């Protein structure tokens, strides 16, 4: 990725810990460490893929960036200005520039609103348009995402899953944002529809120079759309690199295991799959040292007591591992 482009978003040691209350007095007895010191940046026109197993904290990172939930610690910067401490009134101007497309195209749309009103709602909140201007803008947005004008008066239940996700994309685009947080935007769709939505997101990025934070668990999908990929495990980033670099030279054992699980559409080509031992540890009682050491086939004594730092292995390739692979 060309770092000469302007930096839109920067996270510094972002944390989100949920307290656990027990007993009659509702005392705090522990914390769920959903996000634990995440740092990365997103540049103009870039797609950063954020991948990992379910429960690793990917969606929590996205919702914290949107300020749908407040961080427990760390800093969030938008165009160099810190925004994590702003009040709801102060954060409002930034909401226009940071929009979202959510995972479930069924529950993310109001079933009582017509499609045109769903797409027009952000416009009413942020731009003083007349009714005629608003309707014309909505018509243009429908055309952009591949929907017909005659579908504007339909309700969400009258659309297919892929069409509903297109509605969600149109709604996110309506206020011309600079960054769209895509939280598992294709995981609930059929494979053929997934490809259509991914291609649509790519075309829109080319046309409007919008950036994406693309959250997913499917590395094959993330590879297709992302310029860089960050791999998350149990609340932490364990590897971050440009897409080609990550796939050609994975340097963290967890990344290596994820890549080995990607199916190859060729029965003659066999890939040795790395099967991780044990289950994912609880984010309440995390392992000491490197969180991954309980499942890592390369783990040594040092991994049990010392947490590795996310260090730059080569230009733009960061790894958090004491015994980095392919070095």
Q: How many domains does the chain fold into?
A: 1
Q: Per the domain annotation, does 192 fall within a domain? A: yes
In a domain, 265, yes or no: yes
**Is position 211 within any domain?**
yes
C-alpha span between 175 and 253 (Å, rounded)? 41
> Does some domain include residue 85?
yes
Q: The domain spanning residue 298 has which CATH number? A: 3.40.50.300
**303 or 276: whose pLDDT is higher?**
303
- pLDDT tens for 229-257 read 999 999 999 999 999 999 999 999 999 99
What is the structure's pLDDT at 116? 94
pLDDT band at 324 (very low <50, low <70, confident <90, very high): confident
Domain boundaries, position 262: 7-97+177-319
Domain membership of residue 135 (yes or no) is no
Q: pLDDT tens across 81-95, in order?
A: 999 999 988 999 899
Note whether residue 25 is domain-resident. Answer: yes
What value does the mean pLDDT take over residues 92-115? 91
| Confidence at residue 139, expressed as pLDDT on a 0 to 100 scale | 95
Domain membership flag for residue 128: no
Query: Tokens standing for 260?
Result: 């080995």
Question: Rounded to 5 degrees, what are φ and ψ at 157?
Answer: -70, -10
Q: Is residue 104 part of a domain?
A: no
């Amino acid at each position: 990725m060309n770092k000469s482009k302007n930096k839109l978003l920067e996270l510094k040691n972002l944390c989100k810990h949920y307290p656990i209350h027990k007993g009659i007095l509702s005392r705090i007895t522990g914390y769920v460490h959903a996000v634990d010191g995440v740092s990365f940046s997103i540049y103009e026109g870039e797609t950063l893929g954020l991948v990992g197993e379910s429960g690793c904290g990917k969606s929590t990172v996205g919702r914290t960036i949107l300020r749908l939930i407040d961080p427990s610690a760390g800093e969030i910067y938008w165009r160099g200005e810190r925004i994590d401490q702003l009040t709801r009134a102060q954060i409002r101007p930034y909401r226009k520039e940071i929009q979202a497309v959510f995972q479930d195209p069924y529950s993310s749309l109001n079933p009582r609103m017509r499609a045109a009103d769903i797409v027009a709602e952000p416009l009413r909140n942020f731009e003083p348009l007349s009714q005629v201007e608003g309707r014309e803008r909505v018509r243009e947005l429908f055309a952009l995402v591949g929907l017909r004008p005659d579908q504007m008066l339909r309700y969400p239940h009258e659309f297919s899953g892929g069409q509903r996700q297109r509605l969600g994309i149109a709604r996110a685009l309506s206020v011309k944002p600079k960054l769209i947080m895509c939280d598992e935007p294709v995981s609930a769709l059929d494979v053929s529809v997934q490809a259509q939505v991914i291609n649509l997101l790519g075309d829109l990025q080319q046309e409007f120079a919008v950036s994406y934070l693309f959250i997913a668990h499917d590395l094959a999908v993330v590879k297709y759309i992302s310029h860089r990929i960050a791999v998350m495990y149990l609340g932490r980033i364990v590897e971050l690199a440009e897409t080609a670099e990550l796939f050609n030279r994975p340097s963290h054992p967890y990344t290596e295991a994820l890549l080995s699980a990607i199916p190859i559409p060729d029965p003659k080509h066999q890939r040795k799959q790395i099967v991780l031992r044990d289950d994912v540890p609880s984010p309440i009682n995390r392992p000491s040292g490197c969180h991954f050491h309980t499942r890592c086939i390369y783990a040594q004594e040092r991994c049990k007591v010392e947490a590795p730092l996310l260090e730059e292995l080569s230009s733009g390739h960061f790894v958090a591992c004491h015994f980095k692979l392919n070095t």
